[in-house]
DNA sequence: TATTCTGTTCATTTTTCCTTGAACTCACTG
DNA sequence: CAGTGAGTTCAAGGAAAAATGAACAGAATA
């Protein structure tokens, strides 16, 4: 076991490892690469802004993984840019607002998926015009109503996540 | 192109292929095997109850895949059992209520994930008691509030999906 | 109770996805 | 304007997940 309060810059403490494991698990649950979870976990466990090199060194992952992971996490607003005078490297910190991250994730990963699902559906509907089968038309109506519901759902989810938690003030919406 | 209205039992029509493709895509979006999407798509496109053999023959997939896929789909309530007198085989039809399927999926796939996330978190909190780092405690509080929100979110989603669609009567909640 | 039929299991193969690291671009610096 | 440093790209290799199909178990039939 590590020395309590270990601040050795190139060695993860027990608690850091646990936090990272938590996010690795979460990442896999939503279908993201393990490395993305590791990276976010590291940022989440660290108050100070970190650069690419830090991530590579502390997590022992490749430059490519770290670069792609950071870029993705930025793209969904899970990481915020931080400016450090006198350092050419880009630094980031973890975004801790669940709503912001969820919004980014939905916009980046879910919506495009839904959108091309809708396009696909439109094509199906077009083709179905010369299908004599009643069931086909009925089922196409069913999916149409599904996609409409899904479209309405996300703003509600976002608003829901923006609400204050059970016992805390959450000024950051 | 297929003859319009093709009912050849062991050949998929264009529209069936399109519908199946739609669900294959959807399955992959939520991290399920492609074959599960194929199977649900076939049931969705077919009014009559189908047995394992039909799935194998029409989709040209292995017995193992079909068996596991059907079982999973039943477990999340995406397929309903149908009784056909004089036939020993189990038959099923597609469930078309989005709410029912979503509820089943959440109960089967999401909740267990959240649950062991919570367990993991508890362990982290325990270990953190001897961490002097303020940031660690703060971040653990953050995750705790996240998991509480997530817990409240799902019933909300379920209720939302149960509502009638924009322009249709939806007696089936 | 032997036989057939249905569905499950799981070791192996196949496929898909993730990670790696060397080569590259671009910007800053001396 | 050559040299250094930071971050990106992507082909290749490796790891993880899915599909396969043969062996199996159990229930219905004869």
- pLDDT tier, B3 (very low <50, low <70, confident <90, very high otherwise): very low
Q: Decide if A145 and B133 are in contact by the 8 Å CB cutoff.
A: no
Strand C–CB B84 distance below 7 A: no
Cα separation, A41 vs A55, in Å, equals 11
Residue with tokens 């490892």: A17
Domain ranges of chain B: 14-94, 98-162
Report the gap between the CA of A71 and the closest CA in chain B (Å): 21
Residue with tokens 């608690």: A15
- pLDDT tier, A165 (very low <50, low <70, confident <90, very high otherwise): low
Mean pLDDT over A139-151 rounds to 94
Provide the whole-model pTM: 0.91
A136: enclosing H helix or E strand = helix A134-162
Instruction: With a cut of 50, say whether residue A126 has pLDDT above it.
Output: yes
- pLDDT tier, A169 (very low <50, low <70, confident <90, very high otherwise): very low
Q: What are phi and psi of B42, to 5 degrees?
A: -65, -45
Q: Decide if B120 and A18 are in contact by the 8 Å CB cutoff.
A: yes
Strand D–CB B62 distance below 7 A: yes
DSSP chain B: -PPTT---TTS--HHHHHHHHHHHHHHHHTT--HHHHHHHHHHHH--S-EEHHHHHHHHT--HHHHHHHHHHHHHTTSEEEE--TT--S-EEEE---HHHHHHHHIIIIIHHHHHHHHHHHHHHHHHHTT---HHHHHHHHHHHHHHHHHHHHHHHHHHHHHSPPSSS-----
Of B30, B121, B166, the CB nearest to A148: B166
C-alpha closest to that of A92 among A54, A130, A124, A125? A54
The spacing between the Cα labelled CA in B65 and the C1' in C11, in angstroms, equals 15
Which pLDDT belongs to residue A132?
Answer: 83
Which pLDDT belongs to residue B130?
Answer: 83
Minimum mean pLDDT among A115-124, B87-96, B158-167: which range?
A: B158-167
C-alpha closest to that of B152 among A43, A52, A167? A167
Cα separation, B173 vs B97, in Å, equals 7
pLDDT in tens, B123-158: 999 989 888 889 999 999 999 999 999 999 999 999
Instruction: With a cut of 70, say whether residue B47 has pLDDT above it.
Output: yes
Q: Which of B101, B139, B140, B161 to mutate to test the interface with A (most CBs of A within 10 A)?
A: B139
Fold of A14-94: Arc Repressor Mutant, subunit A (1.10.10)
Which pLDDT belongs to residue A1?
Answer: 45
């Amino acid at each position: 076991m590590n020395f309590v309060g270990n601040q050795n810059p190139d060695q993860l403490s027990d608690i850091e490892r646990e936090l990272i494991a938590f996010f690795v698990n979460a990442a896999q649950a939503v279908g993201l690469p393990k490395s993305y979870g590791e990276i976010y976990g590291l940022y989440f466990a660290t108050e100070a802004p970190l650069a690419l090199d830090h991530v590579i060194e502390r997590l022992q992952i490749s430059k490519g993984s770290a670069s792609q992971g950071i870029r993705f996490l930025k793209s969904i607003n899970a990481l915020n840019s931080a400016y450090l005078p006198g350092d050419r490297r880009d630094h980031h910190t973890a975004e801790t607002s669940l709503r912001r991250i969820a919004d980014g994730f939905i916009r980046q990963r879910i919506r495009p998926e839904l959108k091309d699902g809708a396009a696909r559906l439109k094509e199906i509907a077009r083709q179905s015009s010369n299908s004599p089968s009643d069931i086909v038309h009925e089922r196409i109506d069913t999916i149409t109503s599904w996609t409409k519901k899904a479209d309405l759902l996300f703003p509600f989810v976002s608003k829901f996540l923006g609400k204050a938690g059970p016992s805390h003030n959450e000024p950051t919406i």
